[in-house]
Homo-oligomer: A and B are copies of this chain.
Amino acid sequence: MTLVSDHIEADDTRTRILVTAEKLFRELGYQKTTVADIAKLLKMSPANVYRFFDSKKSIISAVAKRLMGEVEVAAIAIAATPQPASKRMRELLVTVHQMNSERYVGDAKLHEMVAIAMEESWDVCLVHIECVTGQIGQVIADGVASGEFDAPDVPLAALCVCTAMIRYFHPQMIVEAAQKPGPTIDQMTDFVLAGLAPRR
């Protein structure tokens, strides 16, 4: 029989492995961090880490999923607030930008981690992009219902909004944006909202 407390403990160990792995990936870089390093810092055997993750690749996928998951939770919460759709849309776009900037933009080691996570876990990225696009779609649908927005094809409009925001959402584009002239995120959000406004 598996006790509930065993599940909780297993979840807790899994989370501790991920938090420690992320810390080491950020400090030493992904390539230089070994599963043995992670185990050592946690005072456990590498074999115990392998009980939870079969490879370093699985660890970085799970780290990426966890980081993206936090953004998804925030996006879902904002989409559900009882505010006008345009206000929710602005808050959602700005929050995703800020959270992605904090998570993925920093020094060379962080870059390495993000680039490898995106390459190794592209399926995880795709699910994340779909989730954020889904929340944007939810806000657009609400705006159409209330007459704030005009979008005959809501899923398509959500894809267009997400595409328009690549400069502010995509880790690598956020980095490049610092070297390239462009609108502020508020100005770009105005442009996107104009694209959703009812036509005359």
Contacts and interface: CB of A to CB of B under 8 A. Distances in A.
B182 A159 contact: yes
Contacts of A160: 183, 187-188, 191
A88 interface: no
Interface in A119-167: 122, 126, 129-130, 156-157, 159-160, 162-164, 166-167
A163 B192 contact: no
Number of copies of chain A assembled together? 2
Contacts of A170: 173
Interface residues of A, number: 32
Given A192-B195, A198-B200, A199-B197, A156 B183 contact: yes
Contact of A173 (B173, B188, B192): B173
A163 B183 contact: yes
Nearest to A189: B160
A172 interface: yes
Nearest to A191: B160
Contact of A180 (B126, B173, B183, B192): B126
A52 to B, nearest CB: 29
Interface in A77-135: 122, 126, 129-130
